[in-house]
Chains A and B, each alone.
Chain A
Amino acid sequence: MADPEKGYDPRIERRLGAVLAACVKHRTTIVSNMGAANPRAAGRLTVELARRMGLRIRVAVVQGDDLTRTVTPATALPELGKTVAEHGLRVVGANAYLGADAILAALDHEPHVILTGRVADPSLFVAPLAHRFGWKADDWHHLGAATAIGHLLECSTQVTGGYFADPPYKTVPDIAFLGFPLAEVEGDATGIVTKLDGTGGLVSEHTVKEQLMYEVHDPRAYLTPDVTADFSQARVSQEAKDRVRISGVTGRTRPEKLKAIIGFDGGLLAEAEFSYAGPGAGSRAELAVSILRERLERIHRCQEIVRLDLIGVNALHGTAGNWTPAYAGATSDVRLRAAMRTHDRAMAETLLEEVESLWLSGPAGGGGYRGKLTPSVSTQAIYVDRSAIELAVEVMQS
């Protein structure tokens, strides 16, 4: 790691600072994966923050997700059918998704704060529930049902009216002040998703349904480190305003292996933008596109794939093939965007320079150049034996 005191989520200080005193006073344990790539440094920061606030707390740091040192050139990448060596890119890091068992080990120390690195999102919620209700590690039914609750909460306001509004079909009250979700869970792992009175947004059967299947493939088999959860028979029912009961979820045996993600040096994402507005804006932008295409190909001999979008005409859905050039003629405010991924820094810079040169050598009336090179990490999933994880819980005191 470039800096041994960084690598955690930098928002941790502000967020913990806002709630730590109240949580300590009311003995509410905070469980967070904001340790990210460096949970120990996050733990030290949290202890230091508590000292400054005059709080005496125990912080439990969960480690074991970092598998970077176990990746070898011979490690197989199943999605590609290649080894790491054959893939040919520099390994940046590798982390497994830990499950509720890792957090349960930390809860045994009765800490005020638990900080983890990579953990499956629902497990952050399953662990405190399993701890409170005493479910066994092979209680698949309860772990499956609790996974649905965790899944509904893990994307915060996406279940309370965020990412939902589509007026006039779906409207959200007081949308600028959405309340965070919470769940009231029973010992049978059914529960009610709700939010605090006086906050904006809504919890409805519809918001819960949309979030229930979010990023889920087969509803009969939602795989986490804890369980194979089965959402296929889920029931949602509105019991009162902003109170929706979720029931009918169950689970089966957990997956044998853990999913881990290897990050590789993905080169640079080069992006540059330039705008045209007023009469003929679409035609002038299309002329700029053709200038860029010709110069990249004939002068720079560019072999990389270059994407040229007209934002406002054919950008996000441009590759779906459902737009016509005639539509560009109708627009009066359009932004050209050029994008390329490459390991060749000189070619990435060339793309930016070519778009910037539209100031001087492009069609009339263009303006608003922005260009950016972003280092990117590409990822590959691998599946590792659970025995590869060396789980360690370190307790720190303020």
Chain B
Amino acid sequence: MTRRKVPLRDVASARTGDKGDIACISVWVYDPRDYEDVKASLTAERVAAAYPALWRGRVERHELPQLYGLNFVMHDALEGGVNASLNLDMHGKSFSFLLLTLDVEVSRP
């Protein structure tokens, strides 16, 4: 089967929440047929390595297969958190769209 690379935004949505210096980004695959491919592409290691200057700590991934969702918990990821960050977006709410720029490999044509 031919596989192709697509931006994650083509196949999934994401929403960010924050707690202290921890960002959590949930990813929701639109078409259930893409879920296993996204899960294989978007590992915790891959996310941790994507923007190391910004997402500096460990990344955990939780799976919600019945909802076609993945939840990433990223430690030391908010430049100190809402009370310390100098980022205009001190909650890191826009970081979901950093994740959505990553490529994933899907097999569905």
User: Are A316 and B24 interface neighbours, CB within 8 A?
Assistant: no
Q: Which residue of A lies closest to B82 (CB)?
A: A379
**Complex interface: chain A residues within 8 A of B17 (CB):** 213-216
CA distance A377 to B53 in the complex (A): 26
Among A136-144, A188-196, A317-325, the one that faces the other chain is A317-325
In terms of DSSP, what is the predominant structure of the interface of chain B? mixed
Residues in chain A near residue B89, CB distance under 8 A: 316
Smallest Cβ-Cβ distance to A264: which chain B residue: B83
Known pairs A209-B28, A215-B18; A378 contacts B83 (CB<8 A):
yes
Closest to B21 in A: A79
Please name all residues of chain A whose beta carbon is closer than 8 Å to the beta carbon of B87 when the two chains form the complex: 307, 315-316, 319
Is B83 a contact partner of A213 (Cβ separation < 8 A)?
no
Q: Is the CB–CB distance between A377 and B83 below 8 Å? A: yes
Q: Which residue of A lies closest to B12 (CB)?
A: A169
Does B43 reach chain A (CB closer than 8 Å)? no
Whether A315 lies near B64 (C-beta < 8 A) is no
Interface centre among A206, A211, A213, A311 (most CB of B within 10 A): A213
Closest to B53 in A: A321
Interface: A337 (CB within 8 A): yes
Give chain A residues whose Cβ lies under 8 Å from the Cβ of B101.
322
Within 8 A of B (CB), among A163-179: 163, 166, 169-170
Residue numbers in B under 8 Å from A381 (CB-CB):
20
Q: Cβ of A209 and Cβ of B67 under 8 Å apart? A: yes
Option from B53, B83, B86, B97 in Cβ contact (under 8 Å) with A266: B83
Q: How near does chain A come to B25, taking the closest CB pair, in angstroms?
A: 9
Give the chain B neighbours of A212 by CB distance below 8 A.
67
Shortest Cβ distance from A335 into chain B, in angstroms? 10
* Contact in complex: A340, B86 (CB < 8 Å): yes
Closest Cβ–Cβ distance, residue A340 to chain B (whole Å): 7
Bound complex: CA A206 to CA B13 (Å): 9
Nearest CB of B to A209, in Å: 5
Q: Is A376 located at the chain interface by the 8 A CB criterion?
A: yes
Q: Which chain A residue shows the least CB distance to B70? A: A213
Tally of chain B residues near chain A (CB < 8 A): 36
Closest residue of chain B to A318 (Cβ to Cβ) is B87
B62 close to A (CB within 8 Å): yes
Using Cβ atoms and an 8 Å threshold, which residues of chain B touch A211?
A: 15
> Closest CB-CB distance, B23 to chain A, in whole Å?
10
Contact with A along B65-109 (1 / 0, CB 8 A): 011010101000001000110111100001101100100000000
Residues in chain B near residue A215, CB distance under 8 A: 17-19, 24
Query: A105 near B: Cβ within 8 Å?
Result: no
Known: A209-B67, A341-B86. A320 touches B26 (CB 8 A): no
> Inside 8 A of A377's CB, which chain B residues have their CB?
83
Compute how far the CA of A210 lies from the CA of B67 in the bound complex, rounded to whole angstroms.
10
Chain A, residue nearest B11 (CB)? A169
Q: Is A90 an interface residue (CB 8 A)?
A: no
Q: With an 8 A cutoff between CB atoms, is A28 at the interface?
A: no
Least CB separation from B55: chain A residue: A320
Across the interface, do B83 and A379 meet the contact criterion of CB distance under 8 Å? Answer: yes
* Alpha-carbon gap, A232 to B70, bound state (A): 11
| Residue A234, interface by CB 8 Å | yes
A233 at the interface (CB under 8 A from B): yes
Q: Taking A219-B62, A377-B83 as contacts, is the C-beta distance between A213 and B69 under 8 angstroms?
A: yes
Asked if A209 and B20 sit within 8 Å, CB to CB, the answer is no
Q: Are A339 and B86 in contact (CB under 8 A)?
A: yes
Contacting residues of chain A (367-398) with chain B, CB-CB under 8 angstroms = 376-379, 381
Q: How far is the CB of A244 from chain B (nearest CB, A)?
A: 12
Kindly list chain A residues whose C-beta atoms are within 8 Å of the C-beta of B24.
213, 215-217
Are B67 and A236 touching (Cβ within 8 A)?
yes
Residues 196 to 232 of chain A near chain B (Cβ within 8 Å):
206, 209-220, 232
Bound form: Cα–Cα A48–B17 in Å: 38
- Is B47 located at the chain interface by the 8 A CB criterion? no
Complex Cα distance, B22 from A377, in Å, reads: 18
Residue pair B54, A321 in contact (C-beta under 8 Å): yes
A305 at the interface (CB under 8 A from B): yes
Pairs A-B, 3 closest by C-beta atoms: A215-B17, A307-B86, A213-B26
The contact sample of 26 A-B pairs, CB cut-off 8 A, is A166-B13, A169-B10, A209-B67, A210-B15, A210-B26, A214-B15, A215-B18, A215-B24, A216-B26, A217-B22, A218-B60, A218-B62, A219-B64, A233-B66, A236-B67, A307-B86, A315-B88, A316-B87, A316-B88, A317-B94, A317-B98, A319-B79, A319-B87, A321-B51, A339-B86, A341-B84
